[in-house]
Amino acid sequence: MECWFVQEKPGRGGGLTGATTQEKSLLHIRTDAQSEAAEAQRAPADINPSRVYVITDPSATLCHPSLNPPRGSIKKPQCEINPFLPQPSSIKWVASLTEPALSPPYLQADWFSASFQNLDKHLGVSTISRAPTGSKEHDVILSITSKTMSAKSRLGEPVTLDCSFWVDPSTPLSTSGFSVEWRYQTRGDGRLVLAYDGKTDRLADSQERGVSLDFQALHERGNASLVIEEAKVRHAGTYICTVYLPYLLAQVAMELEIIEPPSLSIHPSPLPLAAPGQTVQVQCEASGFAPLPLELSWEFKGADEKSRSLGSGSMSGHRQAWDGTYSQSSRLELDTSKMDLGRGGEVTCVAVHAGGTRRASVTLNAIGFSSPSIEDSMAMVGVALVLYGLIKFVSWTFTGSGSNKADEPNKKEK
């Protein structure tokens, strides 16, 4: 696996650190330390042989197919490796892991942290590895994985942010317990969501409401996934899952996006009857959506089933409700002196949003905009003929009865 080796240059005279440098490196991944690593002896021409490493990962996390595309692939997983300095933590839910505060000889080695992300950016892995001083063969000691690096949810739904970890059982650090911490960040603001000391089996007092861990799965399988009972707009942002061992930590950051499509309503409904020379006003209200932005537009479909765009109308500014969702409206003025509505049709409001496209329609009835169609003309001729026949029949009937009455007195005189 190709990777970038990133480190900071030491500052001049032992002062502040200098600029960050990065070198192309190559990682050969294996699951068994006894397997051959002959490939590690062959370095590509563009990679310094000193930046070729052999990584032993007994958990096989780094052997996931999505992290190993076919040879010759143009697109490759993201990978970065950095030097790591083990140190104790003073955080109250981690401090118990390093009591007494004596650094074991096991820490006297070269340590590295590495982060990996697959092509579709749904799988993320972070590792801490150890190598004897000066060696290019690293052993993964701690790995943390998430399969929800980019998660999405609608409002009100339960959300599970995946986070699991593995600890090499052969390391002496595996017997001293662990701690798990979840933090939330967005737009520079952050807060502690949940923290758990696995050694003392205690939750931090600052636990946020509506979130939980499965503690049985946490201890049995290393499942540190965070469960949000009911997604709200305020939950959207970056979540960082951190797992602590004595002197070590690894973390993965994932994004949660709350996407709720708008609800549409049209006013007035039904629309008033439209006649030539009138102006018909109609408003579309989109409410309860998140996040911004939203695109509103109008369409008109006539009796001939042909649709035409009426533009976006006059847009209002967005308004935010108490629950964090947004609303926005568009007002459309139909100037009948400038458009032929024919025999009417359907006016539709179209909302395009990250949560999908929504439509709402209302019927528009119109009179006096166009001459009758051939069918209508034929029907009118037919009606006229029927009326003409009825009139003639009634006329003949009255004329005939009047003649008979006029003849009766003449018959009596005779």
Q: 71-107: per-residue pLDDT in tens?
A: 777 788 999 999 999 999 989 999 999 876 567 889 9
Note whether residue 405 is domain-resident.
no
What predicted TM-score, i.e. pTM, was given to this entire model? 0.81
Note whether residue 390 is domain-resident.
no
Q: Which residues of the chain have pLDDT under 70?
A: 10-18, 36-42, 100-102, 207, 337-340, 342, 367-384, 386, 388, 393-394, 398-414
Note whether residue 410 is domain-resident.
no
Q: Look at residue 101 in the predicted model and tell me its pLDDT.
A: 58
318 and 207 in a common domain: no
325 and 243 in a common domain: no
The domain that contains 111 carries what CATH number? 2.60.40.10
208 and 68 in a common domain: yes
Q: Look at residue 316 in the predicted model and tell me its pLDDT.
A: 94
Q: How many domains does the chain have?
A: 2
224 and 288 in a common domain: no
208 and 175 in a common domain: yes
Q: Look at residue 341 in the predicted model and tell me its pLDDT.
A: 72
Amino acid type, 256: L
167 and 215 in a common domain: yes
Note whether residue 414 is domain-resident.
no
Share of the chain above pLDDT 70, in %: 84
237 and 110 in a common domain: yes
351 and 214 in a common domain: no
Q: Look at residue 203 in the predicted model and tell me its pLDDT.
A: 93
155 and 276 in a common domain: no
Note whether residue 162 is domain-resident.
yes
224 and 165 in a common domain: yes
168 and 39 in a common domain: yes
- Domain interval for residue 86: 2-258
Q: Look at residue 375 in the predicted model and tell me its pLDDT.
A: 54
313 and 165 in a common domain: no
